[in-house]
C-alpha cells in the first residue's frame, strides 16, 4: 500500500460533522434530529440572486477572470463603503468561498513550519486549513467568564516568535458570538505593525450584530493598512452557502498580487454562483434588515430557553449565530453522542457540536458545546426542551453507572 | 512590510496568461487578437445542463455533501462504465474543478519536500500545484521527434528516490496531444506497484481522441488498483469551464477517505454547477459525437495550415485540442511578444503560449509554442496565415537588428 502524506493523516476531522454517522443512524431509526450543530441558514436567499441565475442567457460557461469580474468587485467595494470600509476593486479578490480565501491567505503568508496565533475557541476548520498548509496553530485561551473577549495583550505577545507570520481572528466570532470592539482591533493592528506580521480577520458574520453595537472592520484601522487582510463570504449573509463565493480584501498590493498567482492556478470562481452573488447586492436594504432581525429574535429565544435549564451556562453572543454553552456534564462529546444513540423524546432529539474541536489546547472546552441559533424560534424552543430532558436522562444513566 | 511566503513568491506565473498584459494593450490599439493560447471552448454546452439550472426551484443554496451528491456520483459511475472503467459511487469524490482534484491528490499523497515525476512538457499549472504544496517536480523529457511518447522506462526509473511519492501524467496530453497507449499505461502501473508509489492520471480530455484510436484509462489496469488515481472534469467535455466541477476517482479506499478530509474543509462544491454537470450526463450520445467530430475537423485544418508554413514543425496530436509547434525562431517567447506588441496583419494578430512554461528543465522548449485548435476552422486558417506573415516580419526585423 503506497504511503499517504503525514499532513493528510493528521488532518483533524471536523467537530461539526464528527457525529454525523450517529445522527444518520438515529434518522434511520425514525428519530427526527434537530440540528443545533451546523450554521446552515433556512431563510430564503434574495430573490434578485435566484432570478439572476434563472434569467441567465449563457449557452456555455467560459472561464472568468481569476480575481472575479470587475463589475462584481466594483459593487462589492460600494457595499464595503456602506460599512465604512474604504477599498478599491483592485483590493478585492473573489474566491471560491471563505474557505479558499483562508487557504490563499495562509499559503501566501506562511511556509511549512510557520506559526499563526489564534484566540481559542475558534472556527474548527482553521485547524484544518493550517494543517493542510503545514502551518502550526498557536492558541491563546479566551475565557468563557469574560464572554470570550480578546485575551490580555501580554498573553498574545508572549506567543510571538520568529516563526509567527500572522494573528487570525473571526469577528463576529464563530463559535462564541463575541464581537471584538474597536479598541481590541486597533490594539491587535498595532501589535501586528510592531512585529511586522499580518492580522487576518474573518468577517463573514459582519452583518449579524445583536443589540445595537457597531461592527468595526479590521480594514478601518489606518495604520495597519499594509498588515491587515479581511476574509468575507456570501454564504451566511444571503443564505448562499452552496454558492461557494467569498473574497479576500487587503490594501497590501504585494500580498494581493501574490494571492492572485494562487487564484490563477485554480482558473476562476464558479460562474452561476458569481451571478447570484453579484445580484444579491441589488436586494433592497430591507432584505438584510429582516434577516438580521430574525436571527436576533432566534438568539433571544434560544438564550432564554437555555438559561432556564438548570446548571447550563451560556455565553451571551453579540454577533453571528452561535453561542458556547457549558453543560453540567463531564464530557460534552460523550453526552452529544448519547443524545443521538441512546435517547429520544417523542421520537425527537438534538445534535450538538462538542466544543473541544474548536480549541487546540488539549482538554479545553471539554464540558462545552457550540449551539447554532439557526432553526426557527419554535424549533429552537423545542430543541431546548429536548436538551433539558436529555440532560436529566443522561444524569440518571450516569448515576446508575456509578453505582 | 510583513514578509510573504517563500512558496508564494516562487510560485510560477502561468505561461498561458503571461502575455495577457500585451494582448490587452494590443486590443486597446484596436487590434483583434486570435487566441491560440488558451483552451476555452466556443461550442455550446448541452442544453440539458443549461436547462437544469434555468428550471431549478431553489429558494436558497444549502451546503451539499462534501463528496458531491450520491445521485451525481451514481450517474458518473455509469458514464465511466461506458468507458470500461469499473468504479462505484464510493470511489468518486466530486471536486471544484480538476484544479482542486489535483491539489487534493498532491496534498493527500505528499508532504513538503516530497517529489513527483512528470514527463515534460506538461500542463503548466502542474508546476503551480506542486509549488503551492511545497512538492518538488522531477521532470523526464519526452521528445518532440517521437511525438512526445512516454520516455524510456529506465529514464523514469532513474528519477525515483526515497522522496518520490507519485508519477503524474495527462492522458490525452495537454500540451502535446499525445495519447498514451495501453502498453505505456500498464508499464507505468507496474512501475508504481513495484516502487509502492502512486500513479495519478489527469484524463480530462478522455473524449477527445482523433483518428479512431482507443483511450485507455489508468483505472482499467487491474494490478494498479491501490496505486492509481484518476482526475476528471466537466470543463472541456461539456464546455462548462466556468462550472468548476471535477472529480477524483480511486479504488484506494484509504486515499479516498483521506481526500474526503480535505473536501470537508472546503465544505462542498458549487450547487448550480453540480446541477448543470449532473444534467450534462443526460445529453444524447450525439452531443459528444458532434463535439468530438468538430474538434477533429479543426485539428486537421490547423495541422495542414501549420505544415504549409516554411520551417514550422508540428507534433501530430492524437487527442485533446493542443499541439506543440517548433518555430524557426531562437526564442518563441520573444516572437510571441513581438506578435502582440510590434505586429499586425490588417489589424489582426495571434496570441501563442510559449512552451518553456510547460517544461521545468531550464532552456527546454525555447523555440516551441503550444497552439490550441479551439477556434472554428475559418479562424484557425486565418490564424495560420497571420502566423506565417508574422514569422516573415519577425525574420526581417531580426535581419536588420543583426546588421
User: For A117-165, what is each residue's pLDDT tens digit?
Assistant: 999 999 999 999 999 999 999 999 999 999 999 999 999 999 999 999 9
- Judgement on whether residues A106 and A186 belong to the same structural domain of the protein: yes
Cα–Cα nearest to A24, from B278, B256, B70, B62 = B70
Contact present, B281 and B46 (Cβ < 8 Å): no
Residue from the list A41, A108, A197 with its beta carbon closest to the beta carbon of B5: A108
Task: Report, in angstroms and rounded to the nearest whole number, the Rg of chain B calculated over CA atoms.
Answer: 21
H or E, element range at B158:
none
Contact present, A69 and A274 (Cβ < 8 Å): yes
B358 pLDDT higher than 90? yes
Q: Is B42 on the interface with A (CB under 8 A)?
A: yes
Report how far residue B136's alpha carbon sits from residue B122's, in angstroms, rounded to the nearest whole number: 14
Q: What is the model's pLDDT at position B233?
A: 98
| A370 falls within a domain | yes
- Judgement on whether residues B231 and B120 belong to the same structural domain of the protein: yes
Cα–Cα nearest to A101, from A226, A264, A229, A205 = A229
Cα–Cα nearest to A306, from A209, A364, A212, A372 = A372
- Biggest CA–CA distance in chain A, Å, is 70
Share of chain B above pLDDT 90, in %: 94
Residue from the list B107, B198, B273 with its beta carbon closest to the beta carbon of A272: B273
Q: Is A63 on the interface with B (CB under 8 A)?
A: yes
Cα–Cα nearest to A174, from A131, A133, A203, A137 = A203
B345: phi then psi, degrees, rounded to nearest 5: -120, 110
- Judgement on whether residues B163 and B252 belong to the same structural domain of the protein: yes
What are the helix (H) ranges across B83-134? 97-109, 125-132
Q: What is the model's pLDDT at position B13?
A: 79
Contact present, A230 and A201 (Cβ < 8 Å): yes
Number of domains in chain B: 2
Q: Is A56 on the interface with B (CB under 8 A)?
A: yes
- Judgement on whether residues B156 and B126 belong to the same structural domain of the protein: yes
Q: Is B389 on the interface with A (CB under 8 A)?
A: no
**Mind telling me how many Å the CA of A67 is from chain B's nearest CA?**
13
| A290 falls within a domain | yes
Residues within 8 A of B (CB atoms), A 198-257 only: 198, 226-227, 239-244, 252, 254-255
What are the helix (H) ranges across B43-124? 47-54, 70-82, 97-109
- Judgement on whether residues A218 and A348 belong to the same structural domain of the protein: no
| B52 falls within a domain | no
Q: What is the model's pLDDT at position B120?
A: 97
Report how far residue A101's alpha carbon sits from residue A166's, in angstroms, rounded to the nearest whole number: 15
DSSP A222: S
- Judgement on whether residues A292 and A276 belong to the same structural domain of the protein: no
Contact present, A95 and A248 (Cβ < 8 Å): yes
DSSP string, A264-283: HHT----HHHHHHHHHHTTS
| A31 falls within a domain | yes
Domain edge (last residue) among A230, A258, A280: A280
Residue in chain B closest to A198 (alpha carbons) equals B2
Contact present, A59 and B77 (Cβ < 8 Å): no
- Judgement on whether residues B304 and B261 belong to the same structural domain of the protein: no
- Judgement on whether residues B110 and B153 belong to the same structural domain of the protein: yes
CATH number of the CATH domain containing B76:
3.40.640.10
pLDDT, tens digit, 9 for 90 and up, residues B293-349: 999 999 999 999 999 999 999 989 999 999 999 999 999 999 999 999 999 999 999
Q: What is the model's pLDDT at position B293?
A: 96
- Judgement on whether residues B271 and B295 belong to the same structural domain of the protein: no
Positive/negative CA dihedral, A226, A229, A234, A238: negative
Cα–Cα nearest to B46, from B291, B294, B233 = B291
B401 pLDDT higher than 70? no
Q: Is B96 on the interface with A (CB under 8 A)?
A: yes
Domain containing A333 equals: 6-43+286-402
Q: Name chain A contacts of B58, Cβ cutoff 8 Å.
A: 45, 50
Domain edge (last residue) among A261, A280, A299: A280
| B168 falls within a domain | yes
A199: phi then psi, degrees, rounded to nearest 5: -120, 115
Report how far residue A286's alpha carbon sits from residue B92's, in angstroms, rounded to the nearest whole number: 43
CA B210 to chain centre: 17
Q: What is the model's pLDDT at position B77?
A: 98
- Judgement on whether residues A114 and A249 belong to the same structural domain of the protein: yes
| A166 falls within a domain | yes
Report how far residue B81's alpha carbon sits from residue B249's, in angstroms, rounded to the nearest whole number: 13
- Chain-chain contact of B242 with A268 (C-beta, under 8 angstroms): yes
B17 pLDDT higher than 80? no
Q: Name chain B contacts of A50, Cβ cutoff 8 Å.
A: 58-59
pLDDT band at B211 (very low <50, low <70, confident <90, very high): confident
CATH number of the CATH domain containing B339:
3.90.1150.10
Q: What is the model's pLDDT at position B209?
A: 96
- Judgement on whether residues A18 and A83 belong to the same structural domain of the protein: no
Contact present, A294 and B290 (Cβ < 8 Å): no
Q: Name chain A contacts of B2, Cβ cutoff 8 Å.
A: 109, 165, 192, 196-198, 226-227, 252
Report how far residue B213's alpha carbon sits from residue B318's, in angstroms, rounded to the nearest whole number: 8
**Mind telling me how many Å the CA of B8 is from chain A's nearest CA?**
5
What is the arrangement of strands in the sheet containing B246-249, beginning at the earlier edge strand?
B92-95, B246-249, B228-233, B198-202, B164-170, B115-120, B136-141
Q: What is the model's pLDDT at position A22?
A: 95
Report how far residue B325's alpha carbon sits from residue B350's, in angstroms, rounded to the nearest whole number: 14
Domain edge (last residue) among B226, B258, B280: B280
Q: What is the model's pLDDT at position B14?
A: 75
| B347 falls within a domain | yes
SS3 of residue A185 by DSSP: helix
- Chain-chain contact of A13 with B261 (C-beta, under 8 angstroms): yes
Residues within 8 A of A (CB atoms), B 291-350 only: none
Q: What is the model's pLDDT at position A321?
A: 94
DSSP A6: H
Q: What is the model's pLDDT at position A20?
A: 87
SS3 of residue B30 by DSSP: coil
Positive/negative CA dihedral, B385, B386, B387, B390: positive
**How many CA within 13 A on the CB side of residue A20?**
10
Interface test with B, best of A56, A60, A102 (most B CBs within 10 A): A60
Q: Name chain A contacts of B39, Cβ cutoff 8 Å.
A: none
Cα–Cα nearest to B216, from B169, B182, B264 = B182
- Bridge-based pairing of strands B246-249 and B228-233 is antiparallel
- Judgement on whether residues A237 and A300 belong to the same structural domain of the protein: no
pLDDT along chain A (403 residues), means of 10: 93 80 94 93 97 96 94 98 97 98 97 96 95 95 95 97 98 97 97 98 97 94 96 97 97 96 94 98 97 96 96 95 96 96 97 94 95 95 97 88 56
Opening angle at CA B291, ends B290 and B294, nearest 5 = 85
Residue from the list B42, B61, B64 with its beta carbon closest to the beta carbon of A240: B61
Query: In this complex, how many residue pairs, one in chain A and one in chain B, have their CB atoms less than 8 Å apart?
Result: 246
B402 pLDDT higher than 60? no
Contact present, B159 and B140 (Cβ < 8 Å): yes
Contact present, A271 and A61 (Cβ < 8 Å): yes
| A54 falls within a domain | no
Q: What is the model's pLDDT at position B205?
A: 97
B403 pLDDT higher than 70? no
Opening angle at CA B380, ends B377 and B383, nearest 5 = 155
- Cell 432584505 belongs to residue: A287
Q: What is the model's pLDDT at position A212?
A: 85
Amino acid at each position: 500500500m503506497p504511503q499517504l502524506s503525514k499532513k493528510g493523516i493528521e488532518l483533524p476531522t471536523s467537530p461539526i460533522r464528527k457525529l454525523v454517522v450517529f445522527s444518520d443512524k438515529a434518522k434511520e431509526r425514525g428519530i427526527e434530529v434537530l440540528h443545533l450543530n451546523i450554521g446552515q441558514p433556512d431563510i430564503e436567499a434574495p430573490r434578485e440572486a435566484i432570478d439572476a441565475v434563472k434569467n441567465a442567457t449563457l449557452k456555455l460557461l467560459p472561464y472568468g477572470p481569476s480575481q472575479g469580474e470587475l463589475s462584481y468587485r466594483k459593487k462589492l467595494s460600494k457595499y464595503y463603503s456602506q460599512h465604512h470600509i474604504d477599498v478599491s476593486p483592485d483590493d478585492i479578490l473573489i474566491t471560491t468561498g471563505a474557505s479558499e480565501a483562508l487557504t490563499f491567505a495562509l499559503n501566501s503568508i506562511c511556509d511549512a513550519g510557520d506559526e499563526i496565533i489564534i484566540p481559542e475557541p475558534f472556527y474548527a476548520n482553521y485547524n484544518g486549513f493550517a494543517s493542510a498548509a503545514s502551518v502550526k496553530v498557536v492558541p491563546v485561551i479566551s475565557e468563557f467568564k469574560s464572554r470570550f473577549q480578546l485575551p490580555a495583550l501580554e498573553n498574545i505577545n508572549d506567543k510571538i516568535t520568529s516563526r509567527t507570520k500572522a494573528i487570525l481572528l473571526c469577528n463576529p466570532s464563530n463559535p462564541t458570538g463575541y464581537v471584538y470592539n474597536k479598541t481590541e482591533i486597533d490594539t491587535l493592528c498595532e501589535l501586528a505593525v510592531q512585529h511586522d506580521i499580518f492580522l487576518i480577520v474573518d468577517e463573514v458574520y459582519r452583518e449579524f450584530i445583536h443589540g445595537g453595537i457597531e461592527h468595526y472592520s479590521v480594514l478601518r484601522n489606518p495604520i495597519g493598512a499594509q498588515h491587515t487582510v479581511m476574509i468575507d463570504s456570501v454564504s451566511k449573509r444571503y443564505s448562499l452557502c452552496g454558492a461557494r463565493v467569498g473574497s479576500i480584501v487587503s490594501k497590501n498590493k504585494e500580498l494581493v498580487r501574490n494571492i492572485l498567482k494562487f487564484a490563477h492556478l485554480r482558473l476562476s470562481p464558479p460562474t452561476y454562483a458569481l451571478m447570484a452573488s453579484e445580484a444579491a447586492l441589488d436586494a433592497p436594504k430591507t432584505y438584510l434588515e429582516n434577516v438580521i432581525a430574525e436571527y436576533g429574535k432566534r438568539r433571544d429565544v434560544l438564550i432564554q430557553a437555555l438559561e432556564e435549564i438548570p446548571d447550563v451556562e451560556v455565553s451571551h453572543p453579540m454577533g453571528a449565530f452561535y453561542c458556547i454553552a457549558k453543560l453540567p456534564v463531564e464530557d460534552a462529546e460523550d453526552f452529544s453522542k448519547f443524545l443521538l444513540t441512546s435517547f429520544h423524546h417523542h421520537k425527537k432529539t438534538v445534535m450538538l457540536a462538542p466544543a473541544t474541536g474548536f480549541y487546540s489546547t488539549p482538554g479545553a472546552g471539554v464540558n462545552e458545546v457550540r449551539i447554532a441559533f439557526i432553526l426557527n424560534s419554535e424549533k429552537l424552543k423545542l430543541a431546548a426542551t429536548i436538551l433539558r430532558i436529555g440532560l436529566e436522562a443522561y444524569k440518571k444513566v450516569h448515576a446508575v453507572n456509578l453505582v
